[in-house]
Every structure is written in structure tokens, then in C-alpha cells.
Structure 1
Amino acid sequence: MNRQHALIFIAMTIMVDNVYGSCLQVKILSAHSVFDKTQDVAVEVQYNNTSNYTISIYKWCLPNNELNDPLFKVTSNNVPVNYIGPLVKRREPTIEDMIPLEPGKTKIIQARLSSAYDMTMTGIYSIQYDMPTERVVFKHARTFENVLFRTISKRHSGLESNNIQLIIEGRSNIQREQNKNMNVIRRAATLSYVSCSITQKSQITAAVSWALQYADNSFNYLNKTKPSGRSRYKTWFGRFMC
């Protein structure tokens, strides 16, 4: 492929990106404006296809109540609220990972926020759906040559909804408490031995030290490293979605 063709493909992809971003409209609604600590904080998310063609949406952006991705930007009293729900490292998506949204149709889902965001503090929470378009909508640009894909993937456009404000009473969060407990357990953990020789105790101590190092490396890699261009885990899982 020569330079002229490459530039044409890039221009076409930018146009596709803009079209998808503008034709898929997202709106969020809440049945209540005030939530006490006994109520789950949930919102209704509406995906509306305003185009004349079918748009394919990734399944994980259409959760069944529980979130598996930080789909929302949440602040409390103008301070960002941490997402503490699951973070999934996914392989390159296939057609089975898509849900079609036909022209003029609307897809409505319920998303529970209080289990995935740290809402332990009482305050006024500002909530907005906020995701890069390429993380929500499948675009045919993903089938272009790798050299173009790397160039195109650097360009991000946002898919944003309206912003709603809710008064939320602080509540405990199981995920937050579990994370805190795991940190305490790890710091407090000590080794005990039964009928072990001095050599065996030394070997066990070294093995635990290496295991903790492996776990830390894996955790840091999966949370901080973009998979594009990396060789790790390809044997087990194949290519990851960027």
C-alpha cells in the first residue's frame, strides 16, 4: 500500500469515527434524585441509533445491572470518585462480542453504580456516561492493516451522555472493604512451619517471596501496561483489545 492510499484510508477512518460517534446517542436517567444508604444507586442508560445503518455495540457496554467497566465519570462535590469494580483484560473481540442496534432503535439497560464506585461519602454526585467511542462501538477500521491500525488507534473520540446530579447518602461498599482487608491480611501474614528442616524453611521463605513478586508484577502489568505491541500472554489468550 502506497502513501497516498494510506492517507485515504486514514481519512476514511476518521470520517467513520466521527459518524459512529455522532449517530450513537447516549442518555442517562434516574428514577430518584435522592438515595439513602439502604438504596442501590442505579441509572437507566439509553443507547439510541440515529443513523440509517446498524451499529454494533460491544456486549460489555450493555451490562445486566452490574458493571464490568468504568463506563461513567463520577464526581462528588467536584472531586473524582474512584471506580472500584472489576477491570477486565479482553482478547481481540469477535462478532460474538457484538450486539447490533438497528437504525432508529433504542437499547435500554440498567447500571448499578453503588457497587462499582466508591460512594462511602455523603454528598452531591455528578454522573455522566463517558467512554471513548472505539471502546463502545465496533468500527470496520479495526480490519485495516496493522500499520494503519496503530496510527488510527492513537486518535480518540468521546461518547458522552447528559450529566445528572444525585444526592447520595454514604454507604459501605463490599468491594472497597474486601480490598482493604486483603491489604491488611497481606501486611500481617506470617509463615508457620510443621516438621520442616532449616533448609526447607529457607526454601519456603524464598518461594513465598518469589510468588509475591510474581503476583505484584502481574498486577502492575495488567493494570498499567497497554497490551498493544506486547508479547506477554499471547500464547494463552491471543491478541488483546487495545
Structure 2
Amino acid sequence: MRKITQNGLSGRFTITLVIIILISAFLIYSYSNGQVKNEEDLISKTSDALEKTRFYRFEMYSNLSMMNENFQVINSEGQVDVFKNKMYQTMTLQNHSIEIIVIDDQAYYRENKGLWQTKKLEDTEELNAILSEQQLILSSAENSTMSREEDVWLLEVIPEQENVLEQMQSMGVDTSGIELKSFVTRYWIEADTYHIIEIESVTNAEMNIMGLKTPVEMKNTILLSDYNKKVSIEAPVT
């Protein structure tokens, strides 16, 4: 009788232990995934994090591949104070460098470390162009897929063709003779904060060059960091 009781207790104990393990695993999984159930949840939380961003730093690299050659279109880095409408940015285009400081509607700029010049801006909304553009792409995504890589979400979205063309135009590319073939934007997003840490946009197209359709690949990479860490941006001495 004692043996049967012990076996009965052992069986119940095993079942109870299994249930506890399953429940614990479920709770750990739910917590580690931040209640993200699908791509829409991830996009929503990421967009919310962008809207709450006050400060951030960025690096941006754009490359163009065509006719078996690679060209770096732009190499840029900077920092932004979103709420106070301040931005500092340096850009390198081949051997040409540009340094820009924007405070409210006043822009200061110089080329190749020369003398500072000033200019009034009519539209200061461009100061937060990077985050605004990404919110637009995320909100208008036709297709999206997501996967988890340790503490980072990888989100792939297909933006609207119009947005892709606008992005290319903002980089100085004449899109009048371009036929888009494929395009995708990939986001690496921190699982705990939903901050975007890297954005990669790849566009494949055909361009009309001297009457010939030429395959072209355009790759744009943006690295974002130091979210909401205060930055100091002051007007230069002119």
C-alpha cells in the first residue's frame, strides 16, 4: 500500500513539475518577447519609441553599384536634439566635406573646413528627417516579416515604391530614367527598448544609360545610437 502511495505521489509530483516548467517557460518567453505577437505589434511599438525620441546620434552610408563598379554616394554622421530643433552633421562626398549646424531656422555651414556661412531655413521639419522617414516607411509597409536574434528583432518591410523613389531623390539621384525591380528595408530593433539600431535599405533597379538598360543596386545604411542621451549643439563662432 505504501509503495502504491509513493508511486502515486511520485506521478503527481512529476506532472506538477512538468506543468510548472511549462508555465515558467511560457512566462519567460512572453517577457523576453515584450508581448510582441506579430509584425504589427513590433511596428507599433517601434513607431511609439521613435515618437518619444528626444536625442540621438546617427551614421549614414550610401553606396551605388553599377557596371561592375562601386561608388560611395555619401558618408555622414551627426547628432540631433529633436525638441529644440538642433542638429549637427558632417558629410563626405568623395574628397569634398561639408559641416552643418542647424539651430531653429538658422543654418551654419562650411566646406572643407573653410569659413562658416549662414543661411535662413524656411522649413525646419527636415531636422528630424531620418526618424520621420522611417515612420512613414513603417506605417505604409505592404509586407513585413520578423525574426528574433538574441536581444534584437529583425524586421523586414517592403515600403511603397513612391517612398523608395523619394529616398533616392533625396540622395541626389535622378529617378526619371529608373525602373525599380526590387526593394526591401531591414530594421534591427532592440527588444527591450524598441529603438532602431540599424537600418539597411537595398534597391535594385535598371537605369537608362546612353540608351542601354543598366542594372543598378543602391544600398543605404543608417546606424542610430545614444537614444535620449543629451547632446550639446551650439552655434559656431563666425
- When normalised by structure 1's length, the TM-score is 0.27
More helix by share: 1
Structure with more relative contact order (C-alpha pairs < 8 Å, separation 6 or more) = 1
Larger Rg: 2
More strand by share: 2
